[in-house]
Every structure is written in C-alpha cells, then in structure tokens.
Amino acid sequence: MNWIFGSAPKDLLLILGPGLLAVPFFRLLPPSFLLTVLAFLTFVVIDTGHVYTTVWRTYFRGEERASSAIYWIAPLGIVVLMTPWFAFGLPYAWSFVVYATMYHHFRQYYGMLRWYERLNGRTCRNSEYFLYFLTIFPFLLMHLRPEPALQKMAMYAEHDVFLMPNPLWWRNGLWLLAAGWCGWLGFETSLWIDGTREPNRLLAVLCPSALACVCFLTGVDVITLILPMLVNHGVPYFSVMTLSLKRIQPRKYTSWAKTASLIVGSAALFGLMEYGYENLIIDIDNRYTFRPIGFWQSALLGVYLVPLFCHYVLDAYIWTGKHREAKLVYGRAAASPAFAGAGTGAASSVSGRR
C-alpha cells in the first residue's frame, strides 16, 4: 500500500492521527503544571513555530527565492493590507486572521488527501467533496452551538469568532451532518465491494473529519477545542517539511533525525521569539477599533502578521503539483501529469473519478 512515510503506522502517527492522539491528553488531564506546559508547547512550538519552518524551503534557499516574485510581493502586500486596517480602526481584523487560519487548515487536509490519491494513481472527487463537507460543516455548526462556555473562548481577541447560538438550527445541522457521514460510509462501502481498496485515502478523510466533529461539536474551551486541531496541523507539517527537504536536497539533509531536529528546533526558536514579540511589543485585542493606536503600532501589528500570512500564501505555492520541485517532493507519482495542481494549498485541476 502507498503511504507517504512507507507504512500505515508511521502515517497515522505523523500525518493522519496526531490530533486524535492528542485529544485524550487534553480531555483527561486535570488542570496542572503538565497541562500548562503541553498547552504552551502546542501554542508556541507546534502552532506558532511551524509557520516559520516554511523558510527552509523558501527564503533560506537562494535558487527558490529567485524563482518567483511571490517571495517579495507576499510580505509587502501583507503589510500594505494590514497596517491601514489597524490604523483606521476597521473592525474584524482578528476575525479575518481566525477564518483565514481555518481555511488554511482545511486546505492542508485536502492536500494530504491529494497526496494519497497521487500515490494511488487515481483521483477520487467524491472523497474530496466528502472531506470538505465532513470537516468544514462541523466548524460551521460550532457557530450555532447553544453552549454558553463558547462565548468566553477567543483565538486571538474577544469575539473573533462569529458565534450565533440557535438550538433549532443546531439540531437540524446535526441531522444533516449525520446524513453526510452515512453518505460517506455508503460510498466507501460501495468502493470496497467493487474492489477499490484504498485505506490511505479512506483514512485521509476519516481522521480529520472525526477530529473536526470531536473538537467543534464537543469542545468547550481552548484546551479541548483548539489545541488538538493545532497539533493535527503542525505535527504533519513538521513531518512533510522534513520529508520534502530530504528529497529536494538529499546531500545536505542526509539524516532523518538531524533534519527533523532542525525543523523542530527552528520552530521552537522562532516560536519563542514571536511569543516575546506578542508580550513585549504589541497588543492583540480589539481596542484598536475605538481607541486609535497610531501608524507605528499598526505597522508593528502588520509586521507581526507577515510570517503567518506568508506561510499561508507560500504554502499555496510550494506544495502545489505545478511547483518546479513537485516531482522531487512527491516522488514517482508526482511525475504523472494527471496529478498536476494537487497540493496542500492549491486546488486540483484534475477531472475526478468517484
């Protein structure tokens, strides 16, 4: 069977299941020093830190920097967009960050599914549609949950998620979601009966979808709702970044352990630096909307968001099947023109089969 890391256990540990494996820790551990440390490492190293590891495939490689104007257009464009947003006191800046982040998460799920399709030599449009529905719809349903504790939760600033509790719509939404799961199970059963056995593709839909339901439908705070999602995004990113560097520059990155240590170590370093920036230099809240903060503080907030949004933009460039190094990153399957355009951040142009 075609697995990104060569076996099902490795892929489950490194790509498909980190978030699900993290759920029991965040759900069962009582408030304690250990839980505080785990939360800090998740936020600072895994979540914040993974953003910066993109530099190993982009800004830290001269040939890659010279390959596209996106490497100077992206950071400049982000500062030009976000600085006046804060300076003029326009609302919903942090909400924009939250929803852009969730979009990025969903696109990574899609990218992993496309990678498995590439390895299988077969596209499956229905799997892609089911993946989007079963991960995005629970997120939308979360906005309708009649759960008072959610009103106190914020990812960046107060009320950065547009919650609209509605018990009736919530119940009806759950029935619709259940119908979606039944449809997916029926679809996979029909494939199995027809002789199409692709456990990798199946798990690429099942794992993120199950996690989305667990977190968005039952989580009540940052620990139980957000942290498992961050683990499920950051750990796979560390993994595939390590893999891609070894495939692109095998003479430089000769050891798995050293390459992974470089990725995680740089994530820790940059994550801690950003943590200091957040606490010592800028204020992350919504007060800018009614109390002017001036140009320079606005510019500092714009600069703060450059690594995050560059990560989103550049991921949509370097992880696409059209990137000049895609054949090296994705191996033999990437050489097939039928899979061009399938990456972590780019929509595929392939006409799919069921």
**pLDDT tens digits, 103-132:** 999 999 999 999 999 999 999 999 999 999
* CA 231 to chain CA mean position, Å: 9
pLDDT at 349: 32
Q: How far apart are CA 316 and CA 330, in angstroms?
A: 15
pLDDT at 352: 42
pLDDT at 333 over 70: no
CA atoms within 13 A on the CB side of 231: 28
pLDDT at 179: 98
DSSP string, 280-303: HT---SSGGGTS--HHHHHHHHHH
User: What percent of the chain is modeled with pLDDT above 70?
Assistant: 93
C-alpha gyration radius of the chain: 21
Residues 290-302 have a mean pLDDT of: 96
What amino acid is encoded at 121 in this protein? G
- Which single residue is written with the structure tokens 């697995």? 3
- Which single residue is written with the structure tokens 């392939």? 350
The pLDDT mean for the chain works out to 92
Vertex 86: Cα angle to 83 and 92 (nearest 5): 125
Q: How far apart are CA 52 and CA 31, in angstroms?
A: 30
pLDDT at 354: 57
| Best CA proximity match to 232, nearest among 260, 206, 202 | 206
* DSSP helix/strand/coil, 198: coil
Angle subtended by helix axes 227-248 and 18-28, to nearest 10: 150
Is residue 51 very low, low, confident or very high in pLDDT (cuts 50, 70, 90)?
very high
Six-digit token pair at 309?
A: 């949004």
pLDDT at 342: 42
pLDDT at 267 over 50: yes
pLDDT at 154: 87
The 10s digit of each residue's pLDDT in 55-74 is 999 999 999 999 999 999 99
Is residue 44 very low, low, confident or very high in pLDDT (cuts 50, 70, 90)?
very high
pLDDT at 341 over 60: no
pLDDT at 113: 97
pLDDT at 47: 98
Residues 138-154 have a mean pLDDT of: 94
pLDDT at 152 over 90: no
Is residue 316 very low, low, confident or very high in pLDDT (cuts 50, 70, 90)?
very high
Six-digit token pair at 114?
A: 């496309």
pLDDT at 43: 97
pLDDT at 313 over 80: yes
Six-digit token pair at 162?
A: 């547009």
Contact 88, 297 (CB under 8 A): no
Residues 146-155 have a mean pLDDT of: 91
pLDDT at 226: 97
pLDDT at 353: 47
